[in-house]
């Protein structure tokens, strides 16, 4: 591997993995260990991962996770999980946030929560892993948005109103194949209030997981660039989680951003979840996204620690495999730098300031 391209990633679920871990010391595991996850500090440095959006995600109770085993065979339709209670959401959110704060405190400057694009750039310059705190699904936030203020004070600068389940703010798309993203209603009145608050507070709004109606509601209401941190092209993989050409055009027109999702079920034309998925499918998705959105508005949104990724990449340490495949496919060094980090830093400057 010859890559020296720095990568700022649009989405990972490492905080959830650490929260669910049976390890006695997840802080040390992340900072000094080498565990089985996709991201830790050692893997980040090996793969030139310089920062990214670190999601706080509140999992659904019960056996929904086991349903992912059904995402094979070329056709499936998983039901939306039931709405999550606020208390349950806040329990896991507070646990994940506490883990991140402990990591930052113990890292002696190796990891930092960044609140502006300038802070991100400065962290990268000094070799610090730059964390943008993200909330994936807003079940922990009340309709009056009081808890949003608390999270903002803790460093939250990005959120997705919904995950793939419904809440008081809007409706999420199911995990299904094949299918389009027009699967339900859009934003509620509370959701419209949330988008307005995000614009006012300079919180980036992530459109991954939301229904097509919700997407267009945000497009109508928001004054900020449209961003889907970890979604692919529906034309190449017809999953409800992926973006139609019309949605991609709206992102382009607002100078927004799409992060390539590494999850194999959102890459493959058959929608299957398979580790032996070829890197070529990632290259094909990027070719298409660049054609539709423009080379200044595409990056990576790996979904590390939250999805099955191609085995040839395996973890953050394997990011150079993708970079080298793109280089061999004719991508210039200038374009690789844009995809790696420059485009994300640009849209963050235009959203969180």
68 has a pLDDT exceeding 70: no
**Alpha carbon distance 149, 151 (integer Å):** 5
Q: Contact, 315 vs 39, CB < 8 A? A: yes
Q: 3-class DSSP state for residue 134?
A: strand
Q: How far apart are the first and last CA of the chain?
A: 35
Q: Which residues contact 132 (CB under 8 A, 6 or more apart)?
A: 51, 52, 53, 54, 113, 114, 120, 157, 158, 348, 352
142-152 pLDDT per residue, tens: 999 999 999 99
**Alpha carbon distance 5, 179 (integer Å):** 35
Provide the pLDDT for residue 250. 99
Provide the pLDDT for residue 33. 81
CATH topology of domain 7-351: TIM Barrel (3.20.20)
Can you tell me the mean pLDDT for 272-294? 98
Residue among 16, 8, 103 nearest 47 (CA): 8
Percent of the chain with pLDDT over 90: 91
Provide the pLDDT for residue 70. 75
The two structure tokens encoding residue 329: 């496919």
Q: Contact, 159 vs 200, CB < 8 A? A: no
CA 267 remoteness from chain centre: 15
Provide the pLDDT for residue 62. 67
**Alpha carbon distance 235, 52 (integer Å):** 27
What is the maximum span of the chain, computed from C-alpha positions, in angstroms? Answer: 51
**Alpha carbon distance 211, 209 (integer Å):** 7
Q: Contact, 2 vs 333, CB < 8 A? A: no
Percent of the chain with pLDDT over 70: 97
**Alpha carbon distance 212, 132 (integer Å):** 26
Residue among 126, 116, 117 nearest 50 (CA): 126
Cα 351 to Cα 92, 257, 337, 344: the distances in Å are: 27, 11, 20, 11
Q: Which residues contact 118 (CB under 8 A, 6 or more apart)?
A: none
Phi, psi (5° rounding) for residue 194?
Answer: -65, -45
Q: 3-class DSSP state for residue 286?
A: helix
* Residue 24 banded pLDDT, cuts 50, 70, 90: confident
Residues linked to residue 76 through DSSP beta bridges, in sequence order:
177
Residue-wise over 171-199: b if at least 16 C-beta within 10 A, else e?
Answer: bbbbbbbbbebebbebbbebbbbbbeebe
User: Where are the domains positioned within the chain?
Assistant: 7-351
63 has a pLDDT exceeding 60: no
* Residue 66 banded pLDDT, cuts 50, 70, 90: low
Kindly write down the DSSP assignment for every residue of 1-65, as one continuous string: ------EEEEEE-HHHHHHH---S-HHHHHHT---SSS--HHHHHHTTEEEEEEEEE-PPSTTGG
252-269 pLDDT per residue, tens: 999 999 999 999 999 999
CA 250 remoteness from chain centre: 19
Phi, psi (5° rounding) for residue 4?
Answer: -125, 25
Burial class (CB in 10 A: 0-12, 13-18, 19+), 167: buried
Q: Contact, 262 vs 282, CB < 8 A? A: yes
Mean pLDDT across the chain: 96
Provide the pLDDT for residue 241. 98
Which pTM does this prediction carry?
0.96
The two structure tokens encoding residue 297: 């508005």
**Alpha carbon distance 139, 94 (integer Å):** 13
111-168 pLDDT per residue, tens: 999 999 999 999 999 999 999 999 999 999 999 999 999 999 999 999 999 999 999 9
DSSP 340: I
């Amino acid at each position: 591997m010859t890559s020296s391209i720095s990568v700022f990633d649009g989405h990972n679920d490492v905080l959830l993995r650490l929260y669910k871990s049976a390890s006695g010391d997840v802080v040390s595991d992340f900072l000094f260990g080498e565990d089985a996850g996709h991201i830790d500090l050692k893997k980040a440095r090996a793969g030139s991962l310089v920062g990214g959006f670190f999601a706080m995600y509140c999992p659904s109770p019960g056996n929904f996770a086991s349903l992912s085993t059904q995402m094979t065979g070329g056709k499936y339709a998983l039901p939306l999980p039931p709405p999550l209670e606020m208390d349950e959401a806040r329990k896991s959110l507070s646990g994940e946030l506490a883990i991140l704060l402990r990591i930052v405190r113990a890292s002696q400057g190796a990891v930092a929560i960044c609140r502006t694009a300038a802070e991100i750039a400065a962290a990268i310059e000094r070799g610090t892993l730059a964390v943008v705190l993200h909330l994936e699904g807003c079940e922990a936030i009340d309709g009056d948005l009081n808890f949003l203020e608390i999270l903002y004070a803790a460093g939250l600068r990005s959120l997705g109103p919904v995950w793939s389940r419904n809440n008081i703010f809007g409706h999420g798309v199911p995990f299904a194949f094949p299918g389009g993203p027009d699967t339900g209603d859009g934003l509620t009145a509370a959701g419209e209030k949330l988008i307005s608050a995000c614009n006012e507070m300079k919180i980036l709004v992530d459109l991954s997981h939301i229904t097509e109606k919700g997407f267009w509601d945000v497009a109508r209401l928001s004054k900020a660039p449209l961003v889907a941190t970890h979604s692919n092209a529906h034309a190449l993989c017809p999953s409800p989680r992926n973006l139609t050409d019309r949605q991609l055009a709206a992102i382009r027109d607002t100078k927004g951003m799409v992060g390539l999702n590494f999850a194999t079920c959102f890459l493959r034309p058959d929608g299957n979840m398979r580790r032996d998925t070829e890197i070529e499918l990632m290259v094909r998705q990027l070719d298409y996204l660049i054609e539709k959105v423009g080379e200044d508005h595409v990056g990576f949104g790996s979904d590390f620690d939250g999805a099955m990724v191609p085995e040839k990449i395996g973890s953050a340490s394997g990011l150079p495999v993708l970079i080298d495949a793109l280089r061999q496919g004719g991508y210039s060094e200038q374009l690789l730098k844009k995809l790696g980090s420059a485009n994300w830093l640009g849209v963050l400057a235009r959203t969180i300031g």
